[in-house]
Amino acid sequence: MGHTVARITLHSPDLSRSEQVELLVDTGLTYTWVSDAALRRLNVEVKSVRKFRTIDGRLLERSIGEVVIEYMNEKATRMAVFAEKSDTEVLGVDALEGLGLEVDPITKQLRKAESLLAL
């Protein structure tokens, strides 16, 4: 199994600033994690602090805020975690679903989803 990496554009909430970043895609992770420095350059406001449990059982507290994420000409305002230097920057499933994207299991690339799940 390979890794999927995506080069996405992040925009400030008012769309006045933007920055391209490369993020590892993780369909098992809820939120997108982006460096604290990048989110602050984009004037992303801290909305709250949440607790996260790591795969090895550690409990982390991180700030979260809203950022506009763009990929393949789709934009969506999603929650992002202010990642610290020891954290991995990751595009989570919340952003994938918000942008209508999925990982192609053959090519390991992001693609527009043919349809979204409705229950």
Residue at 115 is within a domain: no
Which two structure tokens, joined as six digits, stand for 69? 């994420």
pTM, to two decimals: 0.92
Domain, as residue range, for 42? 5-106
CATH number at residue 94: 2.40.70.10
What is the tally of structural domains in the chain? 1
- CB 79 within 8 Å of CB 94: yes
Q: Residue 21 class from Cβ within 10 Å (0-12 exposed, 13-18 middle, 19+ buried)? A: middle
Task: For the chain, 119 residues long, give each residue's pLDDT as a single digit of tens.
Answer: 578 999 999 999 999 999 999 999 999 899 999 999 999 999 999 999 999 998 899 999 999 999 999 999 999 999 999 999 999 999 999 999 999 999 998 999 999 998 777 77
